[in-house]
Amino acid sequence: EVLDEVLSELARIGDWRRCDKIVTAESMGFPLAAGLSMRVRKPYVFIRKRRYGLPGEVSLKQTTGYSKGDMFINGIAPGDRVVFVDDVISTGGTLLAIGKALRGLGAEIADVLIVFEKTREKARIEKELGVRIKTLLKVQVVQGKLVEWA
């Protein structure tokens, strides 16, 4: 039920008229992208942590609040208009690296949809990315517990 409600809300707030493909990063965004794809009838692309060696594959460096590593993009063509979807935004490291790589491929980021906003730096991340980030719920960790904040 929770996933269904999240997908309904993401489908409602997304700019699907300007979308050719839904893009997400491995792995927590997978159920979001797959579910949205079925609802809005747009194909999805997974940005993976493993190299596949496909023609045109592009690698990027990802740095989050808890890890660093390579990610690999396949299936994006120049002129593609993408909606990026993910479960959480914290440092913005993954989103900014993916945004730079997508633009390097000639894609346009039409929209960014995130379930949990776990940062007080959304404005900075939006400025660097050049796209408004839409989130469903602002959260923070207080005494080891995840709580909503306004």
User: Does the structure show a pLDDT above 90 at 68?
Assistant: no
User: Does the structure show a pLDDT above 80 at 73?
Assistant: yes
What the block records as the tokens of 126 is: 């939006």
Mean pLDDT of 132-138: 97
Going along the chain from its start, the domains and CATH numbers come out as 2-45+77-148 (3.40.50.2020)
Mean pLDDT of 102-121: 96
What the block records as the tokens of 45 is: 């692309």
Handedness of CA 12, 16, 20, 26 (dihedral sign): negative
What the block records as the tokens of 97 is: 């690296």
* pLDDT band, very low/low/confident/very high, at 65 (cuts 50, 70, 90): low
- Mean residue pLDDT of the chain comes to 93
Mean pLDDT of 130-145: 94
User: Does the structure show a pLDDT above 80 at 67?
Assistant: no
| DSSP-assigned letter for residue 112 | E
pLDDT value, residue 66: 67
Mean pLDDT of 74-87: 97
Mean pLDDT of 39-46: 97
Are the C-beta atoms of residues 52 and 30 closer than 8 Å to each other?
A: no
pLDDT value, residue 6: 98
Mean pLDDT of 133-140: 96
Gap between the Cα atoms of 134 and 121, Å rounded: 13
Which residues fall within 8 angstroms of residue 146, CB to CB, at 6 or more apart? 139, 140
Give the predicted TM-score (pTM) of the model: 0.91
User: Does the structure show a pLDDT above 80 at 17?
Assistant: yes
